[in-house]
Structure 1
Amino acid sequence: MMNPIEANGNMFETQMVYGLPTVAAQGFLPLYNSLVTDSFIHRKPTAAIKSESSLTYNNLPLPRKRSRDSAMVSFPSPPHKSNETCSRFSFLGHDISLHMEQQQLDVDRLISQHMEKMRVEIEEKRKRQARKIMEAIEERVTKKLRGKEEEMEKIEKINWALEERVKSLCIENQIWRDLAQTNEATATALRSNLEQVLATAQQVKVDKRNRGVGLEAAADDVDDAQSCCGSSWDVEKNGDGGRLCLTCRVEESCVLLLPCRHLCSCTVCAPRLHICPICKSPKNASLQIKMS
């Protein structure tokens, strides 16, 4: 047991036995969340309590009120020993330096493991996110490429169909051109033949006209001789001496048929006649004659 001493009233002027050493230990790493040091550093200062054995020691803070004028922290001063003893941690007279160092190493190891674990998890999460992003981008790019390929295939099909259509139109155009040239040659030949035929017909007509002048005069005389005014064929006459219609043989003949000029029809039968009943020539017109 250590000799108890009274608190000096100033925590910076006292030497600590149960907390940090008076001489800083250069061979130790800084403490992280040490239970012993945290309990001494963060606890409220308490006054010295006397036990039944008339010894003074620092106990954990009790849940009771104390006056403001009491001392902040009271640490019993250790006996003056060598520097080796002062550089160690002691608690209740026991050297806990190795235990503190081991705890510090364990804490550092746990922190390092936790940090490494967190780093690995963050790295894995980052990789997963990057992989998902790359997959999404790849899928989107693949869809766009597939759509572009389909569009290109459609355009190629349309181009092929248009090329085939152009080829067929070129062939059809060539066929129509050849046909037009053939028709033009045929039309030219027909026009030439027609001109020749017309010229020949005109010449024949002129020749006939020149030869038929005398024949027409003779025919006119014959027609005049055979007309109604003194015709040479026998005609039926009614009781009054008038000539009867050769179609109905009832009414009197009073219509002159042209161009043959035969008086052989009545007013009733003349519109229905197309040829002359006597000479069988075509009828062009008719003329009604009133005889007194």
Structure 2
Amino acid sequence: MKRPADRIFCSEAVGGVHQDQSAIYNMQLGFAAPTAGPLAAASTSESSLTFNNLPAGSRKRPREFSEHALSFLGEDFSALVQQQMLHVDCLVLHHVEKVRMESVERLKRFLRRVLATVEEGVSKRLRAKEEEMERLKNLNWALEERIRGLCVENQMWRELARSNEAATHALRANLDRALAAAAEAEAKAEAAVDDAESCCCGGVDNAEAERKRVACRLCGEKQPAVLLLPCRHLCVCAACGPAVAVCPVCDCDKSGSILINMS
């Protein structure tokens, strides 16, 4: 069922075409349908094939012929034919418009699908790039933390090396002093032996006293060989060194000991 607007559009679009072609339709239907009146007595020589050779007075007959061509059994079908042709033209125009709209809609759907596909691809690539940037950011942060940790560890090792170096120098100085004290004690012992040889009775007592002075302060028999720290007294032998907790000379608490090879 067509709307009134469609009918008006179709009528305006094809009205002029039907006015120009009305004579052709009338002539075609006139040749196919029987006619009445003046056209019944027309001769063969007055057909449309010899229309251009007729005199001026006979040129009115095609118009008369077209006026009565759509008459059949006394009824005029020209209005009906024009109405049917107008309806057909309206259907054609409506179908053309419908096809055009469908083509436009298909093109829009196709463009939307293409745009959606492109947007999806771009979105996937952007997400992949963002994930890669986030991963590199986390890796960079982890490397920075590792570098800071290594710097702190390096500083700690430097401090430890400096403290160990200072302790080494202190121990070397203590060892030098202990060796000097041992050499001095040995020189005194040799001097005491010489004095003992020069005297008889008194020399033996002095030698014994000197031996006890330079002997281990715990057992009193063996030669001192352990340097106590931090007081740095060389006053106990190797056997008594581990059992000593307090220096027998100054009563200082022992924090460590160094075994000195006197041989």
Q: TM-score, normalised to structure 2's length? A: 0.47
Higher helix share: 2
Q: Which has the higher contact order (CA 8 A, sep 6+)?
A: 1
Larger Rg: 1
Q: TM-score, normalised to structure 1's length? A: 0.43
